[in-house]
Chains A and B, each alone.
Chain A
Amino acid sequence: MDREQERAIEWECQKIMRRYYYHVDRREFEKAVDLFTPDIDWLSHGVKLDGRDELLKALYASLGEGTVRHVLTNSVVSVTDKNHAICRSYNTLYYTADTEYQEADSPLAMEGPHRLLDSYAELTRTPDGWRISKRRSLIVFRRDPDEPVRLETWGESEGRTSGHA
């Protein structure tokens, strides 16, 4: 593969990652889930999910209320071959659990980022375009380490907690 083909894959994979966060941050969860392969292997905040149906349930449970913005930066895409790539990024999250931005009259108060995550994703080329087939994210910095967010509470109640958050 020449460098031009590699660059095109790097661009497409970054775009999928950005589009995913565009949809989840606006609660367009069905569109967000369509950017994953049907057998998506997902682990974040210590919660393990397999497949699109489980992921969709978790997105509704964790982000159906409150307001979040995932600020995605530092993306480095490593092309494995013409059908596979790996993307590493940082995710700086701004978050409030108890207010929905679209129902507020003014901006939501904040004191800075809520958490910073190392994000890892494997992407696969499919007939529908590039899709995320595996996702891992680790929280490196966190404002209130002892206050669980909704995803963690939901994961615990569903018995889906597994490993380092």
Chain B
Amino acid sequence: MDRDQERAIEWDCQKTMRQYYDYVDHRDFDSAANLFTEDIDWFSHGVKLQGRKELREGLQAALGEGTIRHVLSNTVVNVIDADNAELNEYHTLYYVADAEFENVDGPLAFEGPDRVIDCYAALRRTPEGWRIAKRRAPIIFRRNPDEPVRLETWGAKQGKIAQ
């Protein structure tokens, strides 16, 4: 593979990740879930999910209320071959649990980021384009370490917590 082909893959994989967060942050969970492979292997906040259906449920439970913005930076894509790539980036999360931006009159008060996350994703080329096949997201910094967020509460209740 030449460098031009590699660059095109790097660009398309970045776009898939950004598109995913544009969808989830604006609660378009069906479009978001469609950017994963059918057999997505997903692990974040200690919660393990397998497949699009579980992921769709997890997104609704975690982000159906409140307001979140995932600010993506430091993205590096490593192309493995014509159909596989890996991506690492940082996520700086701004979050409030108890208000939906679209239902309030004006901005939400904040004091800074809620979390910084190391994000890893494996992407696979499919007939529909590049899709996320595996995702890992350890939290590195956290504003209130003892206050669980909705995904963690939901994951515990559903028995989906894994090490």
Where the two chains meet, the residues of A that have a C-beta atom closer than 8 Å to any C-beta of B are 3-4, 7, 10-11, 73-76, 88, 90, 92, 111-113, 115-116, 118, 138-145, 164-165
Q: Do B11 and A92 touch across chains, with their CB atoms under 8 A apart? A: no
**Inter-subunit contact B108/A10 (CB<8 Å):** no
Residues of B within 8 A of A (CB): 8, 11-12, 15, 18-19, 21-22, 67, 69-73, 92, 94, 96, 101, 105-113
Are A116 and B18 touching (Cβ within 8 A)? no
Complex Cα gap A110–B105 (Å): 27
Residue of A nearest to B110 (CB): A141
Q: Which residue in B15, B21, B111 is a CB contact (below 8 Å) of A112?
A: B111
Q: Could you tell me the distance between the alpha carbons of A139 and B110 in the complex, rounded to whole angstroms?
A: 11
Which single member of B8, B15, B106 contacts A145 (CB below 8 Å)?
A: B106
Q: Is the CB of A116 within 8 A of B106?
A: no
- Other A-B contacts than A74-B22, A74-B70, A113-B113, 11 sampled, CB-CB below 8 A, are A7-B12, A111-B111, A112-B112, A116-B94, A118-B69, A140-B69, A141-B107, A142-B108, A142-B109, A143-B109, A145-B106
Contacting residues, chain B, for A144 (C-beta < 8 A): 109
A74-B21 contact given A7-B8, A90-B69, CB 8 Å threshold? yes
- B67 CB contacts on chain A under 8 angstroms: 140-141
CA distance A3 to B11 in the complex (A): 11
Pick from A73, A145, A165: contact of B72, CB below 8 A. Answer: A73
List of 6 A-B pairs having minimum Cβ-Cβ separation, nearest first: A112-B112, A142-B107, A141-B110, A139-B107, A76-B18, A73-B71
